[in-house]
């Protein structure tokens, strides 16, 4: 029962991540692979390009033939042919020879540069004048200049962006090995909550957390599966948790802001075979009453019932957890923070990490972060905000004018 | 034919946006509404909450009853009942009275504050001692404190994040009116290009642009539809363009880096009834040979064939165009730029806007942007980069140490 009363720091919670294995992998078409996490290193099967390509319209030449050519002293070159797009030239280029080539065309044997058409003049059908000398490699992409055979194209653990999808296409990969999207079960609890299609009686409110958490799970690249609303009833909650844990890779229970419901969640977890309560309380605000259990090798989260608290705990703790089991090893680009100047003082308590909702705006050439303060049950504070700032455990508040780092909502 | 030779600035191109109408709207379930663009203002149909709710476990009281209560001089209060979760109390609270309440519970008539359980002690079944005085409103969310009836909850044109989905749920909206996702046709051209399932003969390469552009379109929240590869053949290209324009909201043709193909695209466009070439050449690098036509009321883009050029033109010009026809009126959060220090000098040409690929990294407590230079045909430069920086038309290069604003790839 020790864990019940020992509040962990956020770093201590993250130390537990390696206890949880990654989901398994699958193969998807590259059309379906965007934003998926690559499961194995992808290696170049050939050079890219595997022939020298022109990057400008002009003439393929041996560069040495042009040395010394200027506007006042042009070089005369013999036209040996014209290179069709997508065709391998059936002739070669020697000193003093040139062949018409278009952007993307394959250089003939013997040619090592392209003179742009702007720097040439046709003399007759068989000769051109060249007004500029070019170095070897000019306006050419050489063999393997983009990627060399056997080079790692994309490392395992990377989320695939459109450019990585294009790179797979360039090498003819029609499919990619990726981690399966984690399936995340969502359970809402509370006798005061009704589904959104019901009219709440006085004293009841509609279920918000199922919908905010489903959206956050989907934004995290995982698959949300709602297990519906469960009243504050031990057996119902326990049965729903067991079913969700069987079918899902991770389970989120939200609600239980009241002591009674919290007790039910702990009881339900404790009654599940092979379950260990790892965390009961985290030194953060909002979100202190968060529960983390390991059931088998799956994470089970008890999130606070207040809508803001549940969202903040998801964004700051559960989302990185999903990234981990989803196989991600690299920084997500969207996680780069935005520096901004705080518009007012923000108090904070020593010994816990505070997350403050802020609205970003630009004014007088500067970027400002305006704290959106308010109770953690008020969803308007999240709707008005663009992201979160963090106030560390050893900091007692931040002063107006401090430059803070804003992590944007996605 | 004037437009053929008049290169536009990027600002002049954006001045054309209002000529293009928005797509029509549809109704989707809120489960499907994440990242969609709201089509009409959503207004609060009631107060949220519509009853006063406790935000802590404790006792509902009339605040005035507690005034003067301290640890050394506690106030004695009569217990009048206990409030069940999700139930409307059938009693009221007078001066000197208190009722047990849990977080989320409905305050009884007459109560205006909650005393946390930590500041009370039970005397017997009928009375408690209170050790702290509370102000009216303490630990209570008042009627309409989150949102008031008739207030605009979410304005039209806003992309719906998880918190906006939750807000719709809070008011019982099961569906939301949103703009339809624009359908964007993608055509690749070039005699040297083969589909990725074919083995390229010498001189040919696989189709990359269809795949990078499809990914970018999907990341922009629209639906990519590939119309396949078209060889450099006027009639084939023209027929495919006509079909794509009939079925799609916008069409992208990529390829045509060579003069011949460019001519085909212009010819194909000119032969389409009710088509006007608005732009032929933009003062940007990479991406200068971009074409924009209006066909009926749809935008038709001729993008450069080089993979980097096509991606940059998409990100900097086509993507905002899609946002416009998709109904978006608000800044996308992800478009906030990241300041970073340039690691080396970057040259640039006066009179055009340059976009430089950069890799972001942190070192020595600073955030750095390393330019990833390279030919615009090399996809490795996009794979190594995290985003783009812009060098304005009137700037001739940037010096090492300059703070630049990085727009991240999504």
pLDDT tens digits for range A94-151: 999 999 999 999 999 999 999 999 999 999 999 999 999 999 999 999 999 999 999 9
Measured distance CA(A59)–CA(A139) in Å, rounded = 10
Q: Determine, yes or no, domain membership for B147.
A: no
Other Cβ atoms within 10 Å of B296 Cβ, number? 12
CA-based nearest distance B360→chain A, Å? 9
Distance CA A370, CA A143 (A): 53
* B366 reaches A (C-beta below 8 A): no
Distance from C-alpha of A279 to C-alpha of B263, rounded to nearest angstrom: 66
For A169-208, what is each residue's pLDDT tens digit? 999 999 999 999 999 999 999 889 999 999 999 999 999 9
ipTM above 0.90, yes or no: yes
Question: A173 — contact with chain B (CB < 8 Å)?
Answer: yes
| Measured distance between the N- and C-terminal CA atoms of chain A, rounded to whole angstroms | 38
Neighbours of A390 (CB within 10 A): 19
Q: Give how far the C-alpha of residue B126 lies from the chain's centroid of Cα atoms, to the nearest Å.
A: 56
Question: Domain total for chain B?
Answer: 4
Structural domain range at position B132:
53-141
Flag whether residue A390 sits within 8 Å of chain B, measured between CB atoms: no
Assigned token pair, B127? 């009375």
Max CA separation in chain B (angstroms): 95
Report if residue A173 sits inside a domain. yes
Tokens of A190: 């509370």
The first and second tokens of residue B397, run together, are: 């290069």
B373 φψ region: left (φ > 0), alpha (ψ -120 to 50), beta (else) = beta
pLDDT over 70 (residue A257): no
- What pLDDT does B55 receive? 93
Judge if B232 and B364 occupy the same domain.
no
Greatest alpha-carbon pair distance for chain A in Å reads: 95
**Residue B150 falls within a domain, yes or no?**
no
Domain limit, last residue, from A141, A162, A195: A141
Q: Which residue in A has a C-alpha nearest to residue B220's C-alpha?
A: A162
- Check whether residue A171 and residue A191 sit in a common domain: no
- The DSSP symbol for A20 reads S
Q: Would you tell me how many other CB atoms lie within 10 Å of the CB of residue B68?
A: 10
Residues A378-403 have a mean pLDDT of 96
Q: Is residue B191 part of a domain?
A: yes
Which residue of B103, B215, B410 is in closest CB contact with A165? B215
CA distance A80 to chain B (A): 18
**Does one domain contain both A253 and A300?**
yes
Alpha-carbon distance of B123 to B132, in angstroms, equals 16
Query: Nearest 5°: CA angle at A18, between A14 and A20?
Result: 105
The SS3 of residue B175 is: strand
Cβ contact A163–B382 (<8 Å)? yes
> pLDDT-based confidence at A232, cuts 50/70/90?
confident
CATH code where residue A159 lies = 3.90.105.10
Same domain, B245 and B366: no
Same domain, yes or no: B230 and B245? yes
Helix (H) / strand (E) containing A324: helix A319-325
Which CATH number belongs to the domain containing residue A302 in this structure?
3.40.980.10
When scoring B195, B336, B406 by the number of chain A Cβ atoms within 10 A, the one with the most, hence best to mutate, is: B336
Closest CA to B189 of B157, B228, B161: B228
Closest chain B C-alpha to A274 CA, distance in angstroms: 31
Cross-chain CB nearest to A338 (options B147, B193, B338): B338
8 Å CB contact between B358 and B386 = yes
Cβ atoms within 10 A of the Cβ of B121, count? 11
Q: What's the mean pLDDT when you consider all of chain A?
A: 94
Query: Which one of A325, A352, A386 terminates a domain?
Result: A325
Would you call A108 an interface residue with chain B, using a CB distance cutoff of 8 Å?
no
> What is the spatial distance between Cα B48 and Cα B142, in angstroms, rounded to a whole number?
9
Instruction: Tell me the C-alpha distance between B257 and B262, whole Å.
Output: 7
Q: Give the CATH number of the domain where residue B92 resides.
A: 2.170.190.11
Distance CA A34, CA A158 (A): 11
Q: Which of B301, B298, B296 is nearest to B312 (CA)?
A: B301
- Same domain membership, residue A210 and residue A312: yes
Per-position DSSP letters for B52-99, written without gaps between them: -EESSSEEEE-GGGGTT--SSSPEEEEEEEEPPTT---SSB--TTEEE
Residue with tokens 């009926």: B296
Domain at B367, CATH number: 2.40.340.10
Q: Look at residue A4 and tell me whether its pLDDT is greater than 60.
A: no
Same-domain status, B74 and B111:
yes
Strand, helix or coil at A2?
Answer: helix
Q: For residue A1, is pLDDT > 60?
A: no
CB contact under 8 A, B85 and A232: yes
Which residue, chain included where needed, has tokens 């931040």?
A398
A259/B30 CB distance under 8 A: no
Using a CB-CB cut-off of 8 Å, the residues of chain B touching A341 are: none
Three-class secondary structure assignment of A344-409: CCECCCCCCEEEEEEEEEEECCEEEEEECCCCCCCCHHHHCCCEEEEECCCCCCECCCCEEEEEEC
Identify whether residues B19 and B32 lie together within a single domain.
Answer: no
Q: Scan for tokens 């969640």, then name that residue.
A: A265
pLDDT at A330 over 80: no
Q: Does A363 contact B at CB distance below 8 Å?
A: no
- Block residue for tokens 């020790």: A2
- Considering only CB atoms, which chain B residues are within 8 Å of A85? 190-192, 232, 258, 260
Are B224 and B320 within one domain? Answer: yes
Residues A229, A268: Cα–Cα separation, whole Å: 15
C-alpha span between B161 and B148 (Å, rounded): 21
Omega of the bond prior to A286 within 30 degrees of 0, cis? Answer: yes
Do A242 and A266 fall into the same domain?
Answer: yes
Cα dihedral value A142, A146, A150, A155, nearest 10: 170
DSSP string of B205-228, one letter each residue: EE--HHHHHHHHHHHTTSEEEEEE
Give residue A262's pLDDT: 66
Residue B104, in any domain of the structure: yes
Q: Computed from CA positions of residues A327, A330, A333, A337, in that sequence, does the dihedral angle turn out positive or negative?
A: positive
Q: Judge residue B1's burial from the number of C-beta atoms within 10 Å of its C-beta, 0-12 exposed, 13-18 middle, 19 or more buried.
A: exposed
The minimum CA-CA distance between A409 and chain B, rounded to whole Å, is 7
Residue B297 and residue B203 in one domain: yes
Per-residue pLDDT of chain B (410 residues; tens, 9 = 90+): 344 457 999 999 999 999 999 999 999 999 999 999 999 999 999 999 999 999 999 999 999 999 999 999 999 999 999 999 999 999 999 999 999 999 999 999 999 999 999 999 999 999 999 999 999 999 999 999 999 999 999 999 999 999 999 999 999 999 999 999 999 999 999 889 999 999 999 999 999 999 999 999 999 999 999 999 998 888 999 999 999 999 999 999 998 655 666 678 888 888 888 999 999 999 999 999 999 999 999 999 999 999 999 999 999 999 999 999 999 986 554 478 999 999 999 999 999 999 999 999 999 999 999 999 999 999 999 999 999 999 999 998 999 999 999 999 98
Instruction: Tell whether B301 is covered by a domain.
Output: yes
Residue A233 is predicted with a pLDDT of 83
Q: Considering the domain boundaries, does residue A330 fall inside one?
A: no
Tokens of B340: 């970073």
DSSP codes, A94-138: -TTEEEEE-TTPBPPBT--EEEEGGGEEEEETTEEEE-S---TTT
The strand order across the sheet containing B120-124 reads: B113-116, B58-61, B97-101, B75-82, B127-130, B120-124
Q: For residue range A233-243, what is the model confidence (pLDDT) as tens digits? A: 889 999 999 99
Residue B57 to residue A259, Cβ atoms within 8 A = yes
The first and second tokens of residue B293, run together, are: 């036509």
Residues of A in contact with B89 (CB under 8 A): 203
Other CB atoms within a 10 A radius of the CB of residue B70 amount to 11
Query: pLDDT at position B259, please?
Result: 64
Choose one of B307, B325, B343: the last residue of a domain. B325
Confidence (pTM) = 0.96
CB contact under 8 A, B259 and A380: no
Residues B295 and B372 in one domain: no
Chain centroid offset of residue B273 CA:
35
**Which residues on chain A are in Cβ contact (under 8 Å) with B170?**
205-206, 208, 379
DSSP output for A141-176:
EPTTSSB-TT-EEE-TTPBP-HHHHHHHHHTT--EE
Is some CB atom of chain B closer than 8 A to the CB atom of A193?
yes
Over 90: is that where the pLDDT of A10 sits?
A: yes
Q: Nearest CA to CA, how far is A166 from chain B (Å)? A: 5
Q: Chain A: residue nearest B158 by CA? A: A383
Query: Would B146 be classed as within a structural domain?
Result: no
């Amino acid at each position: 029962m020790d864990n019940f009363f020992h509040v962990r720091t956020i770093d201590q919670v993250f130390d537990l991540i390696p206890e949880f294995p990654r989901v398994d992998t699958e193969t998807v078409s590259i059309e379906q692979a965007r934003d998926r996490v690559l499961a194995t290193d992808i290696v170049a099967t050939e050079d890219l390009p595997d022939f020298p390509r022109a990057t400008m319209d002009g003439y393929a030449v041996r560069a040495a033939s042009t040395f010394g050519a200027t506007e006042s002293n042009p070089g005369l070159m013999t036209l040996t042919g014209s290179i069709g797009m997508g065709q391998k030239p059936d002739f070669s280029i020697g000193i003093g020879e040139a062949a018409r080539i278009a952007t993307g065309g394959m250089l003939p044997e013997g040619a090592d540069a392209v003179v742009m058409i702007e720097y040439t003049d046709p003399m007759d059908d068989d000769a051109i004048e060249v007004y500029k000398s070019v170095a070897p490699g000019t306006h050419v992409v050489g063999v393997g200049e983009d990627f060399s055979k056997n080079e790692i194209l994309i490392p395992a653990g990377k989320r695939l962006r459109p450019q990585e999808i294009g790179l797979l296409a360039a090498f003819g990969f029609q499919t990619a090995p990726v981690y399966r999207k984690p399936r995340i079960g969502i359970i809402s609890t509370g006798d005061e909550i009704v589904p959104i299609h019901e009219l709440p009686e006085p004293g009841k409110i509609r279920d918000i957390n199922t919908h905010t958490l489903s959206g956050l799970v989907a934004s995290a690249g995982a698959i949300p599966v709602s297990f519906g609303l469960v009243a504050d009833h031990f057996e119902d909650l326990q049965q729903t948790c067991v079913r969700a844990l069987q079918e899902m890779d991770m389970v989120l229970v939200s609600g239980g802001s009241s002591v009674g419901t919290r007790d039910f969640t702990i009881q339900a977890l404790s009654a599940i075979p092979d379950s260990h309560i790892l965390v009961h309380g985290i030194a953060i605000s909002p979100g202190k009453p968060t529960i983390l259990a390991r059931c088998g090798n799956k994470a089970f989260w008890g999130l606070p019932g207040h809508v803001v608290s549940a969202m903040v705990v998801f964004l700051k703790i559960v989302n990185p957890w999903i990234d981990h089991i989803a196989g991600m090893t690299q920084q997500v680009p969207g996680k780069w923070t935005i520096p901004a100047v705080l518009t007012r003082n923000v108090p904070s308590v020593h010994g816990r990490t505070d997350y403050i909702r802020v609205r970003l705006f630009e004014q007088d050439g500067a970027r400002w972060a305006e704290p959106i303060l308010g109770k953690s049950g008020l969803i308007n504070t999240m709707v008005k905000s663009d992201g979160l700032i963090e106030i560390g455990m050893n900091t007692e508040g931040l002063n107006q004018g401090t430059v803070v780092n804003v992590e944007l909502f996605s």
